[in-house]
Amino acid sequence: MFFPSPDWFTGFYAVPVCKWGRWVSRASGRLTFWDAGTDGGDTHEAADAVTTPPTTIFSIQNRDSPAFDTPVGYYTIKAV
């Protein structure tokens, strides 16, 4: 969870770790905010607004949101 939204989070999925039938030695990328779809606010000043029913998980798409395309961090996966 990232303050102030109780349903913003970060992570990664669908990272290409295999190319042309071989494991890659390293993969890296940016971590951005995702929204779990349980709270309707998309800015730091938004009132708490429970989304009923919850929506599906999505990346932050509102360009006015401080979380839009903002890297939270970076990840690196390295073959051992």
CA distance 1 to 10: 8
Domain span holding position 52: 1-80
∠ at Cα 60 (56, 63), nearest 5°? Answer: 140
How many structural domains are present in the chain? 1
pTM for this predicted structure: 0.64
Q: Which residues contact 73 (CB under 8 A, 6 or more apart)?
A: 10, 30, 31
User: What pLDDT digit, counting tens, does each position of 20-34 carry?
Assistant: 999 999 999 999 888
Q: What is the average pLDDT across 49-64?
A: 79
DSSP 7: T
Compute CA 34 distance to the chain's CA centroid, rounded to the nearest angstrom: 3
Classify residue 24 as exposed, middle or buried by CB count within 10 Å of its CB (0-12, 13-18, 19+).
middle
